[in-house]
Amino acid sequence: MQADGETTPARLRAGGAVLSLIAGPLCVPILRAHFDGPLRLPDLRERIGGAAQTTLRGQVGNLRGVGALERKVIPGMPYTVENELTDCGREILDVAERVDAWLSQAPQGSIALGSEEAKGAIRALVAGWSSTVLRALAARPLSLTELSGVIDGISYPALERRLSAMRAVRQIEVLSNRPGKAKPYAVTEWTRRAMGPLLAAARCECRHLGEAAEPVGRIDLEAALLLAVPLASLPPNSDGSCLLAVSEPADPTDELAGQTPPRHLAGVRVEVDSGRVTCAPGLEAGLGICASGTAGAWTKAFVEGSLDGLQVGKSECDLAHPLIEGIHSALKPA
C-alpha cells in the first residue's frame, strides 16, 4: 500500500489504505478469483492470466500481509500451499463494488476499475482526503493561496500539483465566474459521492487492520458531513434548520458514562429550504441538535443507513430521519 510520492501524502487518513490497495490493478481480480474457494498460485495465475508469476506472488503476499488472504498448507508429499479469502478480503471486495459504482459515475464518462485512469482518480481522491484539502474545500470554495494558508505541512508547489491532479480527474473545478484574479476551487458532486466508498473503506480498516488502521477522526467525519449532507434529496415542502453533531465516545471505565451529556467535538449546521439542503461547519449555540453520535455511529449511518448508535432529538422540523435516509440513498451503490 505504498503511495505515489507525487500525489499521495505519506500519512493516509482513515480509508486511504484500503482505497490505495484497491487502486492497484491486481488486487480486486486476485480477491475475486478466491471468492469461490482456496486457490494454489498456479491455479490463480490461470484464472486471471496476464501477470508475471513474480508479480502475482508479490501481490498475493501483500494481500496476506493485510489479512485479505490466508495461507493454508495442505499436508502431503509434496505439501500444497493454497490461499483462502478471509472476512477482511470479502469486505475489501464490498468496498471495491462501491468504488466501481462511484467510478461509473465519473463526469468524464465511466471509468473501469483496474485501469490506469481509475488508479489516478483513486490516488487523487486519497491525496485530497489525507492532506485535508477536501476538508477545507468542503466548507467553502478557496483559491490556491487561501488553501496554502489553511493547510499545514504541504509546500505551495506540492499543493498546486495535488490540486492539478484532482482537477484533471474532475474531482474539483475552478469557479471562473468569481470576481478577482485568484479563482477559487470547489468540489464536484462526484467527489461528494466518494464519501460512500471512503467511509466504507475506513470501516473496513477499523474492523480488520487493527492498530495499523487510522481511526475515523473528528476532521474526517466533519468533512464527510460537509460533503455528503448536500446530496440528500428531501421533499420540496421540507424546511428548517438543525445541527448534526459528532460526539466523543463514552469512556467505559467511567461509572457515569451514558449518564452525562456527550461532549460534542464537531458538527455542521444544516439548512433546508424547499427541499434544497446546504450546510456549514460549526455548532451554533441556541440551535437544537437534530442528531448526534460518535464517528463510528455516523459512519454506520452513512454506509448502512442505520440510526443505531445515533441520538436523534425531536424537533419541530424533524429533519434527522429524512436527512440520514437521503444521505445513505445518495451514497449507496446504484
Q: Does domain 16-192 have CATH number 1.10.10.10?
A: yes
What type of residue sits at position 330? A
In this prediction the pTM is 0.89
Topology match between the domains 16-192 and 221-331: no
Q: What is the pLDDT along the chain (334 residues), one digit of tens a residue?
A: 433 334 445 578 999 999 999 999 999 999 999 999 999 999 999 999 878 889 999 999 999 999 999 999 887 777 788 999 999 999 999 999 999 999 999 999 999 999 999 999 999 999 999 999 999 999 999 999 999 999 988 999 999 999 999 999 999 999 988 777 788 999 999 999 999 999 999 999 999 998 888 888 888 999 999 999 999 999 999 888 888 988 877 655 444 444 555 676 788 999 999 999 999 998 876 667 888 899 999 999 999 988 888 888 765 457 888 889 999 999 988 7
Residues in contact with 111: Cβ distance below 8 Å, sequence separation at least 6, in sequence order: 103, 104, 117, 118, 121
Q: Does domain 221-331 have CATH number 3.30.1050.10?
A: yes
Name the residue ranges covered by the structural domains of the chain.
Answer: 16-192, 221-331
Q: Where are the alpha helices (DSSP H) in 76-188?
A: 87-104, 116-130, 133-139, 144-150, 156-168
